């Protein structure tokens, strides 16, 4: 699953980081940032983004009028799709729509129509948080921060090392972002228009199955991003076939401070010491206990032999 992300870049930096080369050109272009709706809520950079927060989402510009500058746009959206049929207060639909399972999209009454209607999008993040559920011996679930592999000198939890820059010839240099496949919908009532999205998840591969059995559908290269966004030329089923479990990721453990959804500070993704494996500790303790028993048994046998003599 994917329940928390991080994105600390400001609006202008996000545009630069999401730059791309349009067809038939050698220069990088920044996607246009479209005006926000979302009941007055705006994108705020944060190290701890939670569902109902607003984040920048890449979508095809063909869904929007008066956009001639680029084929992609950045549209701030709320995390957690509001069902098209919902009436009344948008906060009261009572469905869990933060993630949508890849295996169920085609059979879903919510997600299948959105997919068929061209509601494909890309969620932009510096990384996402996941809590280890595979260690049954631990009473506290250890959180980890997962992100794209970085250049040697770039450390994800030290922004001073990022050295971000952009120009049209070389594009974005600095921190590498994650691009996750998602679906989005436009919901409205009498006086409110809200753009909202869900992150597509899939079964984890051997890169992350030690941590959790689900992982986001991460678009690992420009070909995948282009195919997922090209709603005019790439049909839904073909687009779905581009979603594969990513193999190359980096991660480090973080403190449980991220558990508090109100904590948005830089401390959320700071590296902490790797937790000791309780399974390993249990095995070692068992070995020492057995060794002590063997030693005690051997000493007892020796004493018995002496007594018989």
pLDDT in tens, 245-263: 999 999 999 999 999 999 9
Cα–Cα distance, 136 to 117 (Å, whole number): 42
Catalytic machinery residues: 2, 130
Q: Are residues 51 and 103 in the same domain?
A: yes
Q: What band does 276 get if pLDDT is binned at 50, 70 and 90?
A: confident
Q: Are residues 60 and 105 in the same domain?
A: yes
Q: Does residue 285 carry a pLDDT above 80?
A: no
Q: Are residues 154 and 280 in the same domain?
A: no
Q: Are residues 306 and 247 in the same domain?
A: no
Q: Are residues 210 and 265 in the same domain?
A: yes
Q: Does residue 66 carry a pLDDT above 80?
A: no
Q: Does residue 130 carry a pLDDT above 80?
A: yes
Q: Give the global pTM.
A: 0.87
CA atoms within a 13 Å half-sphere pointing along the CA-CB vector of 55: 34
State the average pLDDT over residues 62-78. Answer: 85
pLDDT of residue 136: 73
Q: What band does 294 get if pLDDT is binned at 50, 70 and 90?
A: very low
Structural domain boundaries enclosing 286: 276-309
Closest CA to 146 of 207, 203, 100: 207
Q: Are residues 139 and 241 in the same domain?
A: yes
With b meaning 16 or more CB within 10 Å and e meaning fewer, what string describes 148-157?
beeeeebebb
Q: Are residues 21 and 95 in the same domain?
A: yes
């Amino acid at each position: 699953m994917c329940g928390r992300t991080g994105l600390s870049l400001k609006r202008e930096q996000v545009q630069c980081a999401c730059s791309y080369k349009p067809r038939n050109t050698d220069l990088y272009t920044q996607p246009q940032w479209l005006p926000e709706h979302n009941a007055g809520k705006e994108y705020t950079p944060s190290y701890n983004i939670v569902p109902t927060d607003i984040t920048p989402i890449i979508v095809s510009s063909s869904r929007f009028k008066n956009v001639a500058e680029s084929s992609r746009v950045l549209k701030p959206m709320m995390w957690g799709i509001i069902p098209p049929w919902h009436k009344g207060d948008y906060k009261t639909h009572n469905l869990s729509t933060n993630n949508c399972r890849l295996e169920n999209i085609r059979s879903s009454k919510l997600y299948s129509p959105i997919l068929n209607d061209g509601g494909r999008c890309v969620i932009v993040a510096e990384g996402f948080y996941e809590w280890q559920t595979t260690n049954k011996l631990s009473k506290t679930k250890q959180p980890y921060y997962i992100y794209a592999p970085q250049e040697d000198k770039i450390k994800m939890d030290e922004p001073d090392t990022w050295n971000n820059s952009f120009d049209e010839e070389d594009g974005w240099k600095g921190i590498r972002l994650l691009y996750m496949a998602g679906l989005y919908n436009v919901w409205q009532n009498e006086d409110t228009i809200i753009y909202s999205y869900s992150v597509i998840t899939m079964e984890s591969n051997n890169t992350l199955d030690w941590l959790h059995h689900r992982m986001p559908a991460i678009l690992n290269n420009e070909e995948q991003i282009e195919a997922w966004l090209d709603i005019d030329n790439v049909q839904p089923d073909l687009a779905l076939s581009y979603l594969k479990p990513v193999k190359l990721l980096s991660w480090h453990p973080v403190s449980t401070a991220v558990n508090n959804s109100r904590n948005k500070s830089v401390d959320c993704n700071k590296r902490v010491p790797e937790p000791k494996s309780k399974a390993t500790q249990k095995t070692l303790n068992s070995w020492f206990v057995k060794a002590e028993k063997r030693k005690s048994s051997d000493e007892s046998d020796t004493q018995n032999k002496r007594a018989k003599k």
